[in-house]
Amino acid sequence: MPTNDYFYGTLSPIQAIPPQTTMPSSPQKITDAYAYCQQMVRSHYENFPVASFILPKRLRQPISVIYAFARTADDFADEGDWDAETRLTKLREYDEYLDAIANDEAIDNPIFIALADVIKKHDLPLQLFHDLITAFRLDVSKKRFTDIDDVWDYCRYSANPVGRLLLHLMDAATAENLEHSDAVCSALQLINFLQDIEQDFVENQRIYLPQADLQRFGVNEEHFRTRRSDDAFAQLLQQQIAYAREKMLFGKPLGRAVGGRFGFQLRLMINGGLRVLELLERQQGNLFSRPRLSKRDWLWMFLRAL
């Protein structure tokens, strides 16, 4: 799943779950489970604030655990040479681990030993983790999206739970904050789709842009196969940018509603998303060249986040 670059890294699913692991949830085993997840973060760090120095120190450990859960489940959907049935079986096993947490049953998986502790300590809604599994399951079975509402519905499972979990960790999960977070996360997800069009099509035969918009602007799959960037594709791009910008601007107040380091990180991410949209506009329909943020862009984002 092309989830936000701000959250996910890369980890081989074969490495993710050591076979025949038995880790009863004693205090030492819980400590070892946390260490396992944090090592995963150190080995596969990307530019989302996973254990970032900007984040409050008390959140780095639980975020590492959530990262480990989401990263490995995402790999089940996309990485390796498994067939669809095997991928869905592995994801179903993750759902069963979540059910075991809900029923306070013994768990033999280091990621879920740590996750159970995080969920208990921070009173996190278990459904948000099931929602992420739903998104990964969709990645296996769904390759096209009917219209923009269909895309936003996918984001409800793939991106929005991440923001909601972070707000719960921050004790900032008010109704207004959750609504704004959903908008920001959905916008970031669509921005990521726009940056990864070629990779998604070539590697996974997926097109995340709405089929209704492709038809509206006269774009077909030949554009993706031949990397054609014409006026039709430029119009399609402008429409997707408009969707993403509207969502991002709606959710922008979240950056000031949440204080401290986390609020600063949110403002940095929001400004970064808006800046990427500007860069995409300048490409005039060439979606097969991923825009890069310059040092000047980062300085602008930093100053705007203060």
Task: Give the residue extent of every domain in the chain.
Answer: 1-141, 143-306
CB neighbourhood size of 158 (10 A): 26
Same fold: 1-141 with 143-306: yes
What would be the CATH architecture of the domain defined by 1-141? Orthogonal Bundle (1.10)
pLDDT digits (tens, 9 = 90+) for 194-225: 989 988 999 889 999 999 999 999 999 999 99
pLDDT digits (tens, 9 = 90+) for 25-59: 678 889 999 999 988 877 765 544 444 556 777 88
pTM of the model: 0.84
H or E segment and range at residue 277:
helix 260-282
pLDDT digits (tens, 9 = 90+) for 104-128: 998 889 999 999 999 999 999 999 9
pLDDT digits (tens, 9 = 90+) for 248-262: 999 999 999 998 888
Closest C-alpha among 235, 86, 207, 64 to residue 145: 207
Torsion angle of C-alpha atoms 136, 140, 144, 148, degrees rounded to 10: -10
- CATH number for the segment(s) 143-306: 1.10.600.10
145 bridge partner residues: 210
Sign of the CA dihedral 89, 91, 94, 96?
negative
Residue 21 has pLDDT above 50, yes or no: no
How confident is the model over 17-31, as a mean pLDDT?
Answer: 59
Question: Tokens for 171?
Answer: 């004790």
